[in-house]
Amino acid sequence: MDFANFLIQLLNSLQYGLLLFMLAAGLTLIFGIMGVVNLAHGSFYMLGAYLAWALTAQFNSLTLAIVVGCVLALVFGWLLEWLLFRHFYKRDHLDQVLLTFGLIYIFEELRSILWGDDVHSVAVPEAVSQSIQLTENLSYPVYRLVVSGVCIALALGLYGLISKTRLGMKIRAGAFNREMAEALGINIRLIHGVVFALGVTLAAIAGMVAAPLSSVYPGMGSSVLIMCFVVVVIGGIGSVRGALVAALLVGLVDTFGKVLVPQIAGMAVYMLMAGVLLYKPEGLFKQ
């Protein structure tokens, strides 16, 4: 591998890592603040991707589809929290796992009824559909850079929201000590609704921006879900900063593992996880 290729692979791993972060951030937020293990998180990614496909066909514009999709995801997340999840915060983790595992099947079936079982593709927006020539025979799609840009912007936004705003302060307070926060007059139910809707929306956005790259197909949620959990576990359950570091790390190991040691490509990420857990049983950034 020469230096130019090394740099391109670095870019690949960064881009993959950032997308993973978008997904894992929602999962770790929901767990860290409400203590809910949400196995259905991958389904939100899938629903996002299908929304992008269906809405793009409707509006003829991916940007508009993503904006509308975000609003729908927020409403959907809010409703889901209100109808189902809020009744499960105090329940055993096993109950939560059963609920969210059931939801996976329900969302798959809904998807099948609404949109069928076909594989679909979403066109990359005209303005960013070209590729940049990197080496003599390899070009890099501009859209991949756009996706990375969106992920970075959202990561910064999330950081700002949690550490710099009043709402963020309330969220942190609620996560740290629920009773005390309530005693201080913070409407914790509202906060939970907001956080859950936010987590769902993050996953849906990841699905929507990834749709043109990954194509849209049944079961796409379950494959990312496992990676998501790996990221959350490595980063430390509940830590958004940990999720970012872990996602980038997983991106690196996965990318270079595939290229340098293809025989164990499937295991590389899990070996990383096992290694981290051996020395830091609670993940890199303990809450």
Partner 1 sequence: MTTRRLVLTRSAAVIGAASSGLLLPQIVRAQSDKVRVGFMLPYTGTFAQLGVAIENGFRMAINEQGGKLGGREIEYFKVDDESNPAKGIENANRLVQRDKVDVLVGTVHSGVQMGIHRVARESGVLNLIPNAGVHIATRAQCAPNVFRTSFSNSQPTLALGKAMVDRGHKKAVWITWNYAAGDEAFEGFEQSYTAAGGTIVKKLGLPFPNVEFQALLTEIASLKPDAVACFFAGGGAAKFLKDYAAAGLNKSIQLYGSGFLTEGVLEAAGDAANGVLTTMHYSDSLDTPRNKQFRLEYAKTFKLQPDVYAVQGYDTGLLLVKGANAVKGDLGNKKALYAAMEGATIDSPRGKWTMSKAHNPIQDMYLRKVENKENKVIGIAQKAVADSGAGCRMG
**Positions that interact with partner 1 (CB under 8 A):** 1-2, 5, 8-9, 12-13, 15-16, 112, 117-121, 131, 133, 135, 137-141, 144, 213-220, 223, 254-256, 258-259, 262, 265-266
Structure tokens at 46: 């899938």
Q: Are 255 and 13 in contact (CB under 8 A)?
A: yes
Smallest distance from the beta carbon of 17 to partner 1, in angstroms?
A: 11
| Cβ 199 to partner 1 shortest distance, Å | 23
Count CB atoms within 10 A of the CB of residue 184: 10
Are 194 and 167 within 8 A, CB to CB? yes
Least distance (Å) between residue 221 CB and partner 1: 12
The letter for the amino acid at 69 is G
Residue 215: C-alpha distances to residues 134, 218, 220, 243, 245 (Å): 24, 10, 9, 25, 27
Measured from the CB atom, the residue of 8 and 54 that comes closer to partner 1 is 8
| Complex with partner 1: residue 133 or 177, whichever CB lies closer | 133
Least distance between partner 1 and beta carbon 108 (Å):
8
**Residue 188 or residue 234: which is nearer to partner 1 going by CB?**
234
Least distance between partner 1 and beta carbon 131 (Å): 6
Query: With respect to partner 1, which residue has the nearer C-beta, 215 or 287?
Result: 215
DSSP of 65-130: HHHHHHHHHHHHHHHHHHHTGGGSTTS-HHHHHHHHHHHHHHHHHHHHHHH-S--B--PPPGGG--
Comparing CB distances to partner 1, the nearer of 75 and 261 is 261
